[in-house]
Structure 1
Amino acid sequence: MIVVKKTNAYLGIFLAFIGGFCPLLQVKILFEWVSWGMYKTDVRLFLITYALTGLLTLCFMVRQLKAYRLLTRVMFFWVILMAVAVYFKSQNYFGVKIADNLLGKAIHFQWGWIVLFLSAILLLLSTKKLSAENS
């Protein structure tokens, strides 16, 4: 039997929806710092993240707890994979060492990643599997 902590689930889903609109990267363009959200960083990351969050919400609302538990794990690994991919893409964008060093110094991670990681952790901790003996 799978038990869901609803407060963690609601808060995790809310933070996952909000996290895509938070600033994820700060980029220096012509002597001015510009904050980019997930949509400006990569549209595919934005669409995949919101598709996962939408499916996760749907499974939670219709009480498909096995699918919800699986999607919480997928979401956790997706956020980690996304952060690693954005980091390596910003460090090796042009394939030329000099240009990549300059670009790497001009791109900084913002606080939006903390919101996404927190939502993924809350979603991951929102489910617990109980054995048949405990129920």
Structure 2
Amino acid sequence: MEIACVAVIITALYAQSDWRDDALRIALSTLAVVFYLRAFVPNKNIPEHQDRLDLFFYTLLPKVLAISCAMCLIGFLFYILHLHGATEMLLIGTLTVCIGVVLGGLAAIKSPPAFTSLLPLVARALAVASLGVYGLYRLGLFN
């Protein structure tokens, strides 16, 4: 589902047709909903013996990353639609995603098995963060 949404987003960005704007809005909204709902899926890869840091890496960090990715995508959708609040949503969502990615990198050092389970989400979060940084750049935040 995520791959299909990303393909539609990329195609819509480069297409010069009437359906471009609608496809982009639908794909961004769907992708944001998928990220948001993914935050509520319980992690089944939690080991039996774990300390507090492992518990953070296995349970809390994936939820924070998924919800912040959804917020960043909705902020980018607000930017495309020229709605108020796009800058704030993009800024908060992108910063939270970047902090989550840094904490995911910390998981690679402190708990490699936890990082292995986090790696797909961290890779997706990097793509969403780059989209958020692009949106913030286009809004003139870095000038």
Shorter-chain TM-score tier: 0.3 to 0.5
TM-score relative to the length of structure 2? 0.43
In terms of fraction of residues, the more strand-rich structure is 1
Under a length normalisation based on structure 1, what TM-score does the superposition of the two structures give?
0.45
- Larger Rg computed on CA atoms: 1
Q: Whose RCO is larger (CA < 8 A, sep 6+)?
A: 1
Give the structure with the larger helix fraction.
2
